[in-house]
A and B are shown apart, each in its own frame.
Chain A
Amino acid sequence: MDIALLLLQDGMTTGAAYALLALSLVLVFVVSRVILIQAGEYVSYAALSLTVIQSGNVPFLVWIMAGVSAIIGVHDIIRAQAGVAMLKAALFWIAIPGAILVATLLLVPLDPPAFVKVLLALAIVVPMGPAWYRLAYRRIARSSTLVLLIVSMAVQFVMGGVGLAVFGPEGSRTEPFSSGFLEIGSFSIPAQSLWIFGVTAAIIVALVLFFRFTMRGTALRAAAHNPNGALLMGISPESAGQLSFGLAAFLCAVTGVLISPILTIYYDTGFIIGLKAFIGAVVGGFVSYPLAAVGALGIGIFESFAAFASSAYKEVIVFALVVPVLFLRSTLSHKGVDLEEGFAGEVKTSAGASSPLVRRIRAMLWSPWGIAVIALVLLCLPYGMNQTQQISVNYILLFTMVVIGVCLLTGIAGQVSFGQAAFVGVGAYTAAIIAGPCANWDNFVSIIGLDFLVGSCGLPAWSSLLVSLILTTIIAVFLGAITLRMRSHFLPIATISWAICIYYFFGSSDLLGGFSGLTDLQPLNLNFPSNLPYEGQLYYPMLVVTILFFAVTANLLNSRTGRGIRALHSRTVLAESVGIATINLKVKVFVIAALMACVSGWFYMQLQRFVSPESFSLLAGAKYLFMAVVGGEHHLAGALLGSSLVEVLNKSFQAFFTWTSLGRFGDFEQILFGAVIVLVFQFTRGGIAQFFVGLLPSQKLARASGKPLDHSHQESVPKGTVLLDICNISKSFGGLKALNNVSFQVKAGEVVALIGPNGAGKSTLFNAVSGISQANTGDVLIRETAVSSLSPHDISALGVMRTFQHVKLLSDRSVLENVAIGAYRRGKSGILKSLLRLDRAEEQRTLDMAYHCLVRIGLQDTADTPAAELPLGQQRLVEVARALAAEPALLLLDEPAAGLRYQEKQALAEVLRQLRDEGMGILVVEHDMAFVMGLADRVVVMNFGEKIAEGTTSEVQSNPLVREAYLGA
């Protein structure tokens, strides 16, 4: 009992520090969508500055702070149009930081009272918050959360490097505010802990009050989701961003000065504290301040108990717990399908037509001669390089293998994963144990109790590849099945958690040599070409595998499954509606990416002949993601570009600093590296791949062959069969009744129009029918099957297709490809066939079908245009064509005529009439009365969630209730 209380108190002290940081993370995220990876750096900066001040010196950091601020200030003054802006810039960026500098220089030698020193330390650190916002984030405020996250990582590199250069590697502690213990009964609580509790609680209260009850606070909160609203309140998104970064820096700095007396702070201490705070904030939901604080506190307490229970596996336990907690949160928080807040951001359309010069170069590159030259260069490369360059090239290949998977998983399928390094580790460790020296194998089999295998000395090296692939598949299926169900923000965090778990598992497990790793591993027996060193020989199999990965991934993307994978990227609702089992497909993509990482790990072990957990840490995982985004994660070529850029930058900075001896004073490589990445994102929007897109082999847009169509799939339903039977369904949100006891039917061979004023419940009804949400009571029967417990893709299997009120197209893909997605259910080719290009015949049939649907809707001329380039009205028609491609029995259309011109409406109505005559049942929600009245066989009128009328157009027109609803009479 005593012990439990002690642990609780210990955990709460740590947790309170996490809580303060968690608040700042939430604050910044809510306002600017930036995940403040560098939060921890402010903690170390403040703590270490305080130490320097306490020792009677002026921290060099104050010069950096004032210098950087002054540069921003001068820039802003030159750029400023109005005198007020000039004055503001001068005051904010020059006068205030200057005053802090002067105050520090004057006060520190006087040895002021303790609280003045604390204030100075805070004053030095806080201005860096807004300064960083101004430098790194302002220009890219509208980028995807993922890009913002990557920029945060780069900022963290810079701040970490500066921290080392300014403060040195030694840790330090500051003098406590108050020493001694508070005795409560038999417990003694360190006074410093009380300070931490008190300040944390006070700040939470202050924040809640600020955001609830002050104008500025409300506006700040609004700035995140509603920039116009914030502008109305006189707050621009920029000043909101600056303010939130300043507040966050303040909170972090306060954490720093509070914990520095109880903990030795190093220049890099902040990162891990920041990470735990981050996890805590996410567990708390990442939007509410009190909940984030509670979550962070919980992490602290749980950590304390875990350390007591098993200090060796503490981190494994803590982070393993996070995964199910996130899973619960993510499934409980919103029912139904993904809200589509894409963490990975929208896929941008690629830049327009390339210049003639670029086109000529491209033609040269990809002509048979060009390809021959490229192949020859690749083959001869090892003969023209020294060993260091060869190793770099090998590393680029190793990275590329992993990053192809990351591009596929994150850039194209939209599933952000920080955990790929863990799979690299699985590949490397498996190879190390199975094909390493006999000692590793003997040790392993004897520990797992298979003593009879001792002395058998492992298996041949190539078989270890097979074993590691099988192992990776098992692990990836397991992890994927849990984590990929989570929604946008939870997924990356979950991957961070299990990445840490696996890292510490590698490190804490005696089976795998612990943190010291496994050494003395055997090289592969290659001996070809015999005149090259080992690294050069290893280059060839790695090159072949990398090219193979590129080829199969490109094949995969250019197929039925590929279209499905693209639809996973922030278009899950669409994917489900055309019959894609999204979670299933996500897991498959995840496994492919994991297998690629595993192969890279296997080669890594062959190259390095040494494995230790360090190479498979969270940081390594983040680096792969980093490479993908820097390279351009939406393009496969981004994998090669990102890997090359990161490796070349690293190596050339290292060479530069070795050459100039500058590097002896600090980690300038890291600073420069981070700065370059920040700059890359200031001036490009899609990674460096966008500069090279023009040079890539021109993508063959899927074209139709014009062969006769094969209608064998279409099942004919006799006219008059009840397709959709809605019986007494009701649905309420909170207290609001969106649907109240609604019933009607749609039969084969008729068009039913669903009309009603805004808010009548039409969309809710549509969602209940297509499985996006569930009715509270009542039944929806589609062809006599109750659908309430079915997922949207199962409902689609019953022969139902829908279009969306808010158009959901793959904006960067061609119109024809978009239509072909609709035919997903009609195809059978799976991933394996697509990878190996055995799906061509079926693919051709699908595209013919899609083209036919386009012709039907009158859009055949736009087949090769990227969907985003069409006007909105035509995009709606593409949605209709996509639905037709599935040849559904029941077609659900959500405002198909909105935005269409008169002729287009006429044409659409004509097509729908034809479909009806062919026996299709059509339910159409529409506001355009002329369109509805000319088309519908029956009309259902809704108002305030109730059906108020049903009948032929003339019956409905004469209904007094309808008149009242529309005309308000």
Chain B
Amino acid sequence: MNKLTKAITLATMVAGASLASVTSAMADVKIGVMVSSTGPAAIVGVPQKNSAAILPTEIGGEKVEYIILDDGGKPTEAVNNAKRLISEYNVDALLGPSLSPNAMAVLNFVAEAKTPMLAAVGTDAVIYPADERRHWTFKTAQANRLILQIEIDNMAKNGIKTLALLRLNDSLGEEWAASLEPIAKAAGIEVVAEERFLRNDTSVTPQVIQIMAKKPDAVLVAACCGASVLAQTSLVERNYKGTIYQTNGAASDEFTRQSGKAAEGALMAAGPLQVVNELADDNPIKKVALDYIALYEKTYGERPSTFGSNIYDGGILLQAAIPVALKTAKPGTAEFRAALRDAIENSKDVVGTQGIFNMTPDNHNGMDGRAAVMMIVKDGHWTLLK
């Protein structure tokens, strides 16, 4: 009977899936990579996919195989990919996903499968509260709270009393809005307006007019990529005279290039990768970051964005943790996955391209103030704010 059902299954499922499982039975350590390399978040996912492809294929004397699956930005697909990587490829750890909702969606399943996951997302909700569900999840990107804290400190220093939030109407924007409220309150800064726009909107002028009517001292643009550019240029075009703060979603050369003159004077807190050449030579991050940039440029002929480094840093954490875990168990076993998780949780002073990781059971991110610095656009480039 089993034979018959198998035959029918094969007929319905087409050979593809089985082909894949045949080839994957060879490598020793298996890492599943989940990225959104197509769809609306491709700008985040493509450099991540590229970065995963240049991670070392040997760690601690064991061969490492990376299985990269795209979820097209859809949480449903992310869940399917996670289940597939766990059940079919029997991966030892997961890198990704790229997006916060996707990471939230897979949380339960990685916890149930007891597989460590290094999420490359901004939201803190994947690691806080540090409960049963989040026991197996780590986060390699700077916490949004960290970015906001540094920016709000800067605002307070500059005497800013009122702030308007111009954010994307999506999960990313929701996360920024939720994080901003308590931090701004603590610093005594009042959020006087919250306007939303869509990534693909052709204009944000109406929202800008609405904001300007409230006369805020500063505007925080919580967006990413081209949307950050649209918000920046629209504010300047409408003659907004206050200070414009961007989030680390604007941390790219594309932002300054596309915004042109409108970008001058914009402020942002972001990972040090963006201004790596300005870092002091004794900063341990500098070497790691420059190595990453060189490797990426050699392979793809272009500079990596900070999104890619979030996956790459996950790889760096694994490089430190896998040799430790190998001492107690063999890859492909539940014991190995547990040992790997413990090893990641005990990461001490692991230097990534974006910061330095010191994990604890209560802090599955482990980055500190060194993971974000204030920057300003000067002469068409992001530079360290001194």
| A is bound by B | yes
Please tell me if B198 contacts chain A, counting CB pairs below 8 Å.
yes
Q: Tell me if A651 and B171 are in contact (CB < 8 A).
A: no
Per-residue contact bits, chain A 262-293, to B (CB 8 Å; 1 contact, 0 not) = 11111111011100000000000000000000
* Cβ of B57 under 8 Å from chain A: no
Given contacts A164-B42, A171-B226, contact A610 B105 (CB under 8 A): yes
Q: Given B74, B198, B258, which contacts A614 in the complex, CB threshold below 8 Å?
A: B74
B84 within 8 A of partner (CB): yes
Is B158 at the interface (CB under 8 A from chain A)? no
> Which of A190, A519, A656 sits near B105, CB closer than 8 Å?
A519
In the complex, which residues 577-591 of chain A have their Cβ closer than 8 Å to any Cβ of chain B? none
- A62 → chain B closest CB, angstroms: 20
Any B CB within 8 A of the CB of A170: yes
A392 in contact (CB, < 8 A): yes
The answer to the question of B174 belonging to the interface, with a C-beta cut-off of 8 Å to chain A, is yes
Query: Are A515 and B5 CB-contacts (below 8 A) given A648-B13, A658-B69?
Result: no
* A171 in contact with B43 (CB, 8 Å): yes
Minimum Cβ distance to chain A for residue B57 (Å): 13
Are B45 and A169 within 8 A (Cβ)?
yes
Q: Given that A170-B254, A517-B75 are known contacts, is A652 also in contact with B16, CB under 8 Å in the complex?
A: yes
Q: Are B206 and A7 in contact (CB under 8 A)?
A: yes
Residues of chain A contacted by B173 (CB below 8 angstroms)? 515
> What A residues does B87 contact at CB under 8 A?
386-388
User: Contact check: which of A164, A264, A271 meets B230 at CB < 8 Å?
Assistant: A264
> Of A267, A517, A519, A612, which one neighbours B108 at CB under 8 angstroms?
A519
Q: A171-B225, A388-B87, A514-B171 are in contact. Are A651 and B209 (CB under 8 A)?
A: no
Whether A516 and B229, one on each chain, are in contact in the complex, defined by CB atoms closer than 8 angstroms, is no
- Whether a CB of chain B sits under 8 angstroms from the CB of A259 is yes
B1-20: which have CB < 8 Å to A? 1-2, 4-6, 8-9, 12-17, 19-20
**Is A682's beta carbon under 8 Å from chain B?**
no
- A125 to B166 CA separation, bound complex (whole angstroms): 35
Distance of A6 Cα from B83 Cα, bound (Å):
51
Complex CA–CA separation, A666 to B213 (angstroms): 44
**Cβ contacts B179-223/A at 8 Å (1 or 0 each):** 000000000000000011110111111110110010000000000
Choose, from A72-80, A100-108, A301-309, A915-923, the stretch at the interface: A301-309
Stretch at the interface among A89-97, A375-383, A568-576: A375-383
The winner among A7, A161, A267, A311 for most chain B CB atoms within 10 A is A311
* Alpha-carbon separation in the docked complex, A653 to B14 (Å): 10
**Residue A788 interfacial (CB < 8 Å):** no
How long is the Cα–Cα vector from A839 to B46 in the complex, in angstroms?
59
- Separation in Å of the B77 CB from the closest CB of chain A? 9
Q: Which chain B residues lie closer than 8 Å to A535 at the CB level?
A: 83
Complex CA–CA separation, A271 to B379 (angstroms): 35
Inter-chain contact B46/A169, CB cutoff 8 Å = yes
A173 touches B229 (CB 8 A): yes
**Beta-carbon contact of B74 and A615 below 8 Å:** yes
Contact A386 B105 (CB under 8 A): no
B79 at the interface (CB under 8 A from A): yes
Q: With A13-B203, A380-B5 given, is the CB distance from A652 to B17 under 8 Å?
A: yes
Contacts of B206 in A (CB 8 A): 7, 10, 304-305, 307-308, 311
Tell me the bound Cα distance from A173 to B259 in angstroms: 9
Q: B222-249: which have CB < 8 Å to A?
A: 225-227, 229-230, 237
Chain A residues with CB under 8 A of B254:
170-172
Q: Flag if A389 contacts B202 (CB, 8 Å).
A: no
Whether A901 sits at the interface, judged by CB under 8 Å, is no
Residues of B within 8 A of A380 (CB): 1-2, 5
Residues of B contacting A129 in the complex (Cβ-Cβ under 8 angstroms): none
In the bound complex, residues from chain A placing their C-beta under 8 Å from that of B4 are 377
Chain A positions within 8 Å of B210 at CB level:
308, 311
Quote the shortest CB–CB distance from B369 to chain A (angstroms): 27
A843 CB-CB contact with B under 8 Å: no
Chain B's closest residue to A387 (CB) is B87
- Residue from the list B49, B84, B198, B258 in contact with A315, Cβ < 8 A: B198
B331 within 8 A of A: no
- Residues on B with C-beta less than 8 A from A273 are 200, 202
A196 to B: closest C-beta gap in Å: 11
- Interface size class of chain A, counting residues whose CB lies under 8 Å from the partner chain: 35 or more
Q: Which chain A residue lies CB-closest to B75?
A: A612
Q: Are A507 and B169 CB-contacts (below 8 A) given A173-B229, A517-B101?
A: yes
B176 to chain A, nearest CB (A): 12
Q: Which residues from chain B contact A517 at a C-beta distance below 8 Å?
A: 75, 101, 104-105, 171
B107 within 8 A of A: yes
Compute how far the CA of A376 lies from the CA of B2 in the bound complex, rounded to whole angstroms: 11
Contact A264 B42 (CB under 8 A): no
Beta-carbon contact of B17 and A388 below 8 Å: yes
Chain B contact residues: over half helix, strand or loop, or mixed? Answer: helix
Chain B minimum-CB-distance residue to A610: B105
Closest to A181 in B: B237
Does A553 reach chain B (CB closer than 8 Å)?
Answer: no
In the bound complex, how far is the Cα of B174 from the Cα of A264, in angstroms?
22
B24 (CB) vs chain A CBs: closest residue: A659
Task: Considering the complex, give the chain B residue whose CB is closest to the CB of A172.
Answer: B258
Decide: A670 and B84 in contact? CB cutoff 8 A: no
A 635-648 to B, binary, CB cutoff 8 A, 1 in contact else 0 = 00000000010001
A271→B198 CA distance, assembly (Å): 14
- The answer to whether A515 and B104 touch across the interface, beta carbons within 8 angstroms, is no
Residues of A within 8 Å of B38, CB to CB, are 161, 164, 666-667, 670
Q: Which residue of A lies closest to B47 (CB)?
A: A169
B124 within 8 A of A: no
Check if B19 sits within 8 Å of A659, measured CB to CB.
yes
B55 to chain A, nearest CB (A): 13
Q: Is A17 an interface residue (CB 8 A)?
A: yes
Of the candidates B15, B170, B230, which one forms a contact with A652 in the assembled complex, judged by CB atoms under 8 Å apart?
A: B15
In the complex, whether A524 has a CB less than 8 A from a CB of chain B is: no
The answer to the question of B324 belonging to the interface, with a C-beta cut-off of 8 Å to chain A, is no
Q: Would you call B333 an interface residue if the criterion is a C-beta within 8 Å of the partner chain's C-beta atoms?
A: no
Of B75, B107, B226, B237, the contact of A264 (CB 8 Å cutoff): B226
Inter-subunit contact B70/A663 (CB<8 Å): yes
Q: Which residues of B contact A666 (CB under 8 A)?
A: 38
Give the chain A neighbours of B13 by CB distance below 8 A: 385, 389, 392, 648, 651-652
- The answer to whether A312 touches B42, judged by C-beta atoms less than 8 angstroms apart, is no
**Cα of A924 to Cα of B204 in the assembled complex, Å:** 65
Cβ 8 A contact of B43, one of A170, A304, A667: A170
Chain A CB within 8 A of B88 CB: yes
Q: Contacts of B125 on A, CB cut-off 8 Å?
A: 516
Residues from chain B with Cβ under 8 Å of A17 in the complex: 202
| Docked complex: A224-255 residues within 8 A CB-CB of B | none
Give the complex CA separation of A3 and B207 in angstroms.
Answer: 11
Q: Indicate if the CB atoms of A264 and B205 lie closer than 8 Å.
A: no
Q: Is A832 an interface residue when CB atoms closer than 8 A count as contact?
A: no
Residues facing B in A950-965 (CB within 8 A) are none
Q: Are B75 and A615 in contact (CB under 8 A)?
A: yes
A168 proximal to B (CB < 8 A): yes
Residues of A within 8 Å of B73, CB to CB, are 614
- B360 close to A (CB within 8 Å): no
Contact, CB under 8 Å: A659 / B5:
no
25 inter-chain pairs at a CB distance below 8 angstroms, sorted by A residue, are A7-B209, A10-B205, A17-B202, A164-B42, A170-B43, A264-B229, A272-B200, A304-B203, A307-B203, A308-B207, A308-B209, A311-B207, A315-B198, A385-B5, A515-B171, A519-B105, A519-B108, A535-B83, A608-B76, A608-B105, A614-B101, A615-B75, A652-B14, A654-B69, A655-B19
Q: Which 6 A-B pairs have the closest CB atoms?
A: A264-B226, A652-B16, A384-B5, A169-B42, A171-B226, A655-B16
Residues in chain A within 8 A of chain B (CB atoms): 3, 6-7, 10-11, 13-14, 17, 161, 164, 168-173, 190, 259, 262-269, 271-273, 304-305, 307-308, 311-312, 314-315, 376-377, 380-381, 383-389, 391-393, 507-508, 514-517, 519-520, 535, 608-610, 612, 614-615, 644, 648, 651-656, 658-659, 663-664, 666-667, 669-670
- Additional A-B contacts beyond A262-B202, A388-B87 (7; CB < 8 A): A7-B206, A164-B42, A171-B258, A388-B17, A389-B13, A651-B14, A664-B50
